[in-house]
Structure 1
Amino acid sequence: MQEAPHVSRGPVVTPVRVVIALCLFSPFVAMLWVGSYAKVEPTLIGVPFFYWYQMAWVLISTVLTMIAYRLWQRDQRTRKASDGGASR
């Protein structure tokens, strides 16, 4: 008896992928919403809010990108394992 050809699944929206998208999208929203941080007060060690807020987002973006990357790796391993088990 012939086996049906394996059909690869297309992109699937999962909760993990939504979290990944939010991790990658939130820095853009934070930086493009200039009205939320276009002010001088509060200062941090004499540095106006406008500057230290942006510098804080450099660090926050790094952490969020790292989280997104780890989640993506885990998602791909899970997907590959489930595809591998289904095709055997």
Structure 2
Amino acid sequence: MKIKDGYSLKNVAGTYMIVPLGDNFVDFTSVITTNETGAFLWECLNSQKTKEEICDAVMSEFEGASREIVERDLNRFIEELDKNNMLEKDS
């Protein structure tokens, strides 16, 4: 799974926002805001890592995070992106 082309993560005054680019702007109903962890997850998804690899990367990047919470938060983040049609599914 990876992020579809046409979306970008921007840091505006300390707030991370996922914004549409080009033709995607027409179909986009809202800007998604996220935190530093969400921005990290976005970058991992852009590198086409698996869920397992992303969880490992988060555990390395953010000390003290439990695997259970990382997996839960990753699933929620993926669900939000999927709900907004921002993901390409593996075929």
TM-score (norm 2): 0.33
TM-score (norm 1): 0.34
Q: Which has the higher helix share?
A: 1
